[in-house]
Structure 1
Amino acid sequence: MSLHAQLSPEAIARLHAQQRNSTISSILISILVVVLAGIVLLYILLPQIESFTPEIVSYQTGQQDKEIIEKREIARAVQRQPSAPSSSMAKVIAANVASPVAIPVPDTVVDSPSLELGNGDDFGDGWGDGWGVAGGSGGGFGSTSKLDGTITGHLYDFKQSPEGEALSDYNIQNRAHFTDRINRLHRSRYSDLSLDRYFRTKQPLYVRYIAIPFSNASDGPRFFNAEKEVKPSGWIAHYHGQVVAPKNGTFRFAGAGDDYLSVTVNKKFRLVAAWSDIMDTVAVRGANATQHPNHRSPIGTAPLTYGDWFTVRKGQVLDLSITLGERPGGKVGFVLMLEEKGVDYRTTSSGQPVLPPFSMGPLSPQDVADLKKFPGWEWETENVPVFLAK
């Protein structure tokens, strides 16, 4: 009978655990040895990568000749107001004698003689005393300050794109290039979208009434501080705002424009008055209803035009736009009046009623004095319905 020694279960378990630990340790050591050997082999066998900083080579072409851009210099007027006129206009207009002398435009060079130079050599007393100067009371082309009783206007140039590039399809000698654009604006009722097709100057002006005697066409751009950007032809000044009717009543506009004047009320044309050579082309039914042969205007031979009657109620808010335009350059002039139905106005020797200006604010003593200096023309300055601008 032989004797066999046997281990206890606890000893067997401990022995198995030691075996597992030894096996795991051996495996880990083998893996580490293989990895280490691989690293050593890579370091020995692979070529060393050289690092370098690439040389930056620049190339320079020969210096090009500078392009010489010829730019016409435009002399700025020393004064910001139109030149002082004499008192000869009214007398010469009465004689209806055309002057053989071309009237120069001081600020820019006009490409061609104007067809609308008017009669006589100047424009009446007092024009150089400051009346209508930009920054003044809101007459003329307007004031640079936003005054009570004024609406806002901007100058637009048909000859340039909105970015200020010259348009090759505009010729100041071609009447249709002006009238086609005016009629397009008529169809859109002077919408912002239609006006955005043309170059607009930065400086706005604020106008209370329209009374501009014959003056240089360059005065329009100059008043808007744009004499360098806009040549004195193919431009419009567009004023827009809201006014309030002062009373219940029936009214009509009367006016004259060299070359173009229009008024809309609530987007409906109530007056279109233009120089005779374009009047038939830009006429709007109801807006140039009447022209009295013996009713003259103060704008040379431009006819005095009356619009249709329209009725308003007191306190009614009206959307109003007024547009002035010049086609070929030379001279401009504009007047806008308002006639109230049933009012017994005083008359001139020819029976023409003396009408008040259409005013969007109360006339100050200075305004009244300015209107009395308007050459060869009478205004009603006491009974003036004021359609107050909001």
Structure 2
Amino acid sequence: MSESLHTVTAMPAERRPGCPFDPPEELIRAREHGPISRLPFPSGHQGWLVTGYDLVRSVLADARFSSRKELMRHHPLIDYGDIEVPPAPPGEFLLMDEPQHSRYRKPLVGKFTARRMRLLTERIEQITAEHLDAMAQAGPPADLVTAFAKPIPVIVICELLGVPYADRGRFQENIDGFMNGETSDEELIAAYTAVQAYLSELVAAKRADPTDDVLSDLLDSDLTDEELRGIALILLAAGFDTTANTLALGAFALLRNPDQLAALRAEPALADRAVEELLRYLSVAKQFHRVALEDVELGGHTITAGTTLILSLNTANRDPERFPDPHALDLRRNDGSHLAFGHGIHQCLGQQLARVEMRVALPALIRRFPSLRLAVPAEQVALRPEAADIHGVKSLPVAWDA
């Protein structure tokens, strides 16, 4: 493998037709040249693309690389020119460093432990069964995205945060509006503003009448209503969009790998390994951005202070130096060290919830519909654009023997 310095010229690189699960070919080629490449931005800024597992993991754990929104002046798609990027709004802790980050995250940690999430299993099983019943009653064909992958996580996260049932459809539509990568700037701003306005109303309602939910539990803290709104936005968006796309893309991957689908159906004990392998293989959260706060040596190169790095999680999780035969979906792979949930202080708070939802929903789907299959050729399944932060499918038409 050559360690010569490679330059990536196209971000986001497009996936090859018919390869909806593999990272874009240009990113795979970059990893073959070495774990770090040069990446020129539209603004003219000379940044870096990190594709190797070890380097991505080390950057995520290194406080010398910042997540602060106001430092993210350089984007691989957009030239902001002289526009100042504002700091993250109060509560939106994913785009903050310490100590602000921990102030918001710490009160939440105990509410998303593996034990507490496992206690939700029965409710998730009930929600899943209700949606599979509805699919069976309606009969084939069905869009697995709208019938299965989206409603299950949105109901779960809304119940956790105390969003009234009647409001869930409106919330889901607005979250889709600013996360699908296809809306215009005007539509994106409108959707984001609508979610913010709704969450302000929700926080006020919890102040007036607390209920048994995570948001109400936070009312006794010193967090302001504005901060609670920001926290709720992070939890709702992350708890819905990433899991929904993992469920849909995971079902697609199983249908495209019938030997693995058969193994999971025949061996329910494979479920835990299957979840970890699908998380690694799909890596729906494709990349993170970081900015160097000081000069840092990384992979034999000096990253100067103020330089932007794009961390490619999907190539890190396909790194052949870390995962043997990395482009194969192998549900018997016994390795949960993937970076699908990130690493370090920003590692996904809701990762245990996502695991439980996947462990319940995907095996239930393939048990309920033994003859489940794609209703269109795989090449016709429409993918979300690479510009979207989260990879997935727009719809997944399926059929079965009724």
Q: TM-score, normalised by structure 2?
A: 0.26
User: Which structure is richer in relative contact order (CA contacts within 8 A, separation 6 or more)?
Assistant: 2
The structure whose residues are more often strand, as a share, is 1
The structure whose residues are more often helix, as a share, is 2
Q: TM-score, normalised by structure 1?
A: 0.27
Which protein shows a greater Rg?
A: 1
